[in-house]
Amino acid sequence: MKANKILFGLFAALTLSSCSDDFLEVTSPTDTFIEEYYTTKTSLDEALVAAYAPLHWYDYGSTYQYNALNFISEFMSDDMYPNGSSNTDQPMLQLMFNYSCTPIVCLTGVWSDSYSGVKRSNDVIKYADWVEQAGNISANEKADYVAQARLLRVFYYLQLWKFYGNIPCYFENLASPYIEEQLTADAVYAKVIAELEDIISSCPLQNDYPAEEKGHVTKPLAYMIYAEMVMIQNDNTRYNKALGFMQELITSGRYSLTPNFQDIWEESSEWNAESIWEINYFDDNSVRGWGNQLGAGGCVFPRLHGPRSWKANAGDPFEDVDAGWGFSAIPLHSVASFEEGDLRKEFSAFDLNAHGTSDDPGWMSTGYCLYKYMCRKSNNKDQKADADLGFNNNLRVYRYPEVLLNAAELLLKTGGSGASAAQYVNEVRARAGLGALSSVSEDDILNERRHEFMGEGKRYFDLVRTGKAASVLTPSNDSGGYRTKGWSEAVRYLPIPQDNIDAAQGTLKQNGSY
């Protein structure tokens, strides 16, 4: 159900740019002073809408880049090729695949959109004080607004930390000249995880929302962010707490696996029984377009994933699949990695030749692409602007299988047995049509994560945090022979965009070897 307009009802007067100083300024939606405007609950609602809005921009936002969170890191893993029309199509993506981005040609969208989200979240917290002082909101209502804004801010910092590592991290908006100390990745982690622990322990986050309000941040989302951060950081002092959060979700009874893996990716199955949190998109009257990329409505990543110049065979079960730009070829070594009988294979590594034909498969084509966010004609039929940016596919950020696999891995890390951990893994394997394992190792869990979440943005960070990136992400392991440079710790993080380095007046240092 596409009802959570809080993610999309963008207020034009609140739209900001993150490329200059005015990114950190806001213009009052009326002729009144900003301190006078933000004194009502209605105005605070507008500020909260604005804080949610950058979630919607990650696929194609303020910097006109394709940086959807479900696939940008996949290009740095071993499970997805950027392909496209040629080796110069979307240069940023091609360079990410080969760990060769430059400070000029690099991922700027996640940086820009995330800091927009941080700024807007900070605004909500500040404005909530003003509304309370004006006597127009109760203490409990204020606490709810602040809780949502603080957790949103953590989510935005999570993206910055994962992709860029060493960043400025602040919880109050900056004054001119808008310069803040750059922290190391470890220091960012320490600051944000402490903030998240305080949010979880002291803020009135809701566990769930009614169908018409799905998309708000929740306590289960906070738990998932916590586990992800702790596991990426390899923070053994917090493994027990993260495990406790996962087990609380498991025993809560709120979640269960969707019986049919294919169904997860249908519009009718959004916010299903295994959905922990999604970013909403809709095609009904979507006004998002090339001239209005921050507008309300749909997403573009299905068009990115769609196979190039492809047409389904008449009468084929997948006849609704539409052609796209072909940026998600699944390498042959990834196709071959699935166990025999794994029901997830077809909906991760979709066999194009079995269902249709293409007269221009493009660069890096393997005959397989990602089905999960496939470009389908029925998914943008009700948009009112540009079809390419009008798809209704929600982005599944966290699903219940991740809870189970997190719990299994954390159980092993805290001294639990492989047999006990296997109980969680086997729930995931059973849905995939695979036999049960009597005991599991961390490698078994990593393998299960690979095949459950292929194309969902997990694999690269799993390889990095487990110390396998240097041995797996090499030219010799690429079945297509396209990867010419291997991964090293020096390229773990992406380069900080050069315009931000320049604007920081010497206070920002570039990452790694860039």
Q: Which residue has the higher pLDDT, 464 or 13?
A: 464
The three-state DSSP-derived secondary structure of 88-118 is: CCCHHHHHHHCCCCCCCCCCCHHHHHHHHHH
The answer to whether residues 69 and 395 touch, using CB atoms and an 8 Å cutoff, is: yes
DSSP class of residue 156 equals: H
Q: Whole-angstrom Cα distance, residue 9 to residue 354? A: 41
| Whole-number pLDDT of residue 13 | 29
| Whole-number pLDDT of residue 1 | 37
Q: If we measure between CA atoms, which residue out of 1, 267, 7, 194 comes closest to residue 117?
A: 7
Q: Whole-angstrom Cα distance, residue 148 to residue 204? A: 9
Q: Whole-angstrom Cα distance, residue 90 to residue 88? A: 6
What's the token pair of residue 6? 């809080």
The region of weakest confidence among 55-64, 183-192, 422-431 is 55-64
Q: Whole-angstrom Cα distance, residue 156 to residue 69? A: 12
Q: Which residue has the higher pLDDT, 177 or 423?
A: 423
pTM, to two decimals: 0.94
Share of the chain above pLDDT 70, in %: 94
DSSP class of residue 2 equals: -
For 208-266, the pLDDT digits (tens) are 999 999 999 999 999 999 999 999 999 999 999 999 999 999 999 999 999 999 999 99
What's the token pair of residue 227? 């586990």
pLDDT at 479 over 90: yes
pLDDT at 11 over 80: no
For 373-392, the pLDDT digits (tens) are 999 999 999 999 999 999 99
| Whole-number pLDDT of residue 27 | 52
Q: Taking residues 308-321, report their average pLDDT.
A: 94
pLDDT at 21 over 70: no
Per-residue CA distances from 230 to 99, 192, 397 (Å): 25, 11, 17
Q: Taking residues 333-349, report their average pLDDT.
A: 97
Please give the helix or strand (H or E) that residue 332 lies within, else none.
Answer: helix 332-336
| Whole-number pLDDT of residue 325 | 95
Please give the helix or strand (H or E) that residue 279 lies within, else none.
Answer: strand 275-279
Confidence of residue 31 (pLDDT cuts 50, 70, 90): low
Greatest CA separation for the chain? 68
Q: Whole-angstrom Cα distance, residue 34 to residue 428? A: 51
Work out whether the CA dihedral 390, 391, 392, 397 comes out positive or negative: negative
Q: Say which residue the tokens 């979630």 belong to.
A: 55
Q: Say which residue the tokens 């909260």 belong to.
A: 48
Q: Whole-angstrom Cα distance, residue 442 to residue 194? A: 27
| Whole-number pLDDT of residue 29 | 54
The three-state DSSP-derived secondary structure of 402-469 is: HHHHHHHHHHHHCCCCHHHHHHHHHHHHHHCCCCCCCCCCHHHHHHHHHHHCCCCCCHHHHHHHCCCH
The CA-CA-CA angle for residues 85, 453, 274, to 5°, reads: 130
| Whole-number pLDDT of residue 33 | 85
End-to-end C-alpha distance for the chain, whole angstroms = 44
Q: Whole-angstrom Cα distance, residue 11 to residue 47? A: 9
Confidence of residue 513 (pLDDT cuts 50, 70, 90): confident
Mean pLDDT of the chain: 93
pLDDT at 19 over 50: no
